[in-house]
Amino acid sequence: MSASLAMTHLVPLAKEVDENKVTPGVLGFIVFAVMALAVWRLMKSMNRHMSKVDFKEAPDPAGASREPADAADAKAERG
């Protein structure tokens, strides 16, 4: 019974809204809030997974013995 009483009080408020204006309403807010929450959880999960990644690169044994091409060309020109 209280729900119907609340609706009778809200109906006059709805008539005061400009009928030529389109608004997203409560459903639009709920959809936006759910999307914002999903993005926040994805960012939190990504941050957790990225903190587990080890960015230290092992030296390449084959590449360590070679000189870079620019250094080799500079030595060849000098001597």
> CA 47 → CA 33, 37, 54, distances in Å?
21, 15, 13
Q: Tell me: the pLDDT tens digits for 14-67?
A: 566 677 888 888 999 999 999 999 999 999 999 999 999 887 887 877 765 555
Q: What six digits make up the tokens of 6?
A: 């609340």
Give the separation between CA 2 and CA 10, rounded to whole angstroms.
Answer: 12
Q: How far apart are CA 26 and CA 41, in angstroms?
A: 22
Query: Which H/E stretch holds residue 35?
Result: helix 25-52
